[in-house]
A and B are shown apart, each in its own frame.
Chain A
Amino acid sequence: GAGVSQSPSNKVTEKGKDVELRCDPISGHTALYWYRQSLGQGLEFLIYFQGNSAPDKSGLPSDRFSAERTGGSVSTLTIQRTQQEDSAVYLCASSRVWTFSEAFFGQGTRLTVV
């Protein structure tokens, strides 16, 4: 596609429910990132996929969070048993693998846990 696509754009869920957030990266981009941006906060790194390498999961805040990337393209971020503190905008970005290649961001999914 022309850009990074994320769905849904908005999600309201009840505390304790599971949610899945989807990211479609730019075609040909082998690197894919998930970030979280809470109200008034900076970017919090969550997870990084690069080609067939093992993902860097060092930013996932708890074991309720998981992500996968199928076929080296689409990625899904899953949050189990959501809590109110999970409310944030979840951003996905993709890039080529070269050091000088910038990341392109999607518009994000605004998650609200009530």
Chain B
Amino acid sequence: GDSVTQMEGPVTLSEEAFLTINCTYTATGYPSLFWYVQYPGEGLQLLLKATKADDKGSNKGFEATYRKETTSFHLEKGSVQVSDSAVYFCALSAKGESGGSNYKLTFGKGTLLTVNP
């Protein structure tokens, strides 16, 4: 079945540090890939997405590139801020086992990021 593996946290960084959160996946066919973010006390929201190989998703200074050859979608940011402290989830959308139009989202376990001033 489909699966998403992301680096275990927690990750603690100082403000303006470089961030990488690794994410790899297994899926049949050509999935779409997503990063979601959950800020403290808030619901999950989409951060960025990529729908085909070599696409780069970007938002709020975060980037992730869909790498089919390494089945990866690592999240990066050049200079993190305290306000980036949150839990980050990698996810994929791929056809379910019954195929057809049955697309199902699969999430990783999440990575807690804490940015200190």
Contact = CB atoms under 8 A, between A and B. Distances in A.
A103 B106 CA distance: 11
Interface of A: 31, 33, 35, 41-43, 45, 48, 50-51, 53, 56, 91, 93, 95, 97-108
Contacts, number: 64
A99 B51 contact: yes
Interface string B84-106: 00000101011110101111111
B110 A91 contact: no
Contacts of A107: 43
Counting chain B CB atoms within 10 Å of each CB, the highest count among A45, A98, A99, A100 belongs to: A99
B34 A102 contact: yes
A102 B34 CA distance: 8
A93 B44 CA distance: 9
B82 to A, nearest CB: 21
A102 B94 CA distance: 12
A50 B93 contact: no
Given A51-B101, A105-B44, A100 B49 contact: yes
B103 A56 contact: no
B46 interface: yes
B103 A91 contact: no
Given A105-B43, A106-B43, 4 more contacts: A31-B103, A41-B109, A43-B107, A103-B91
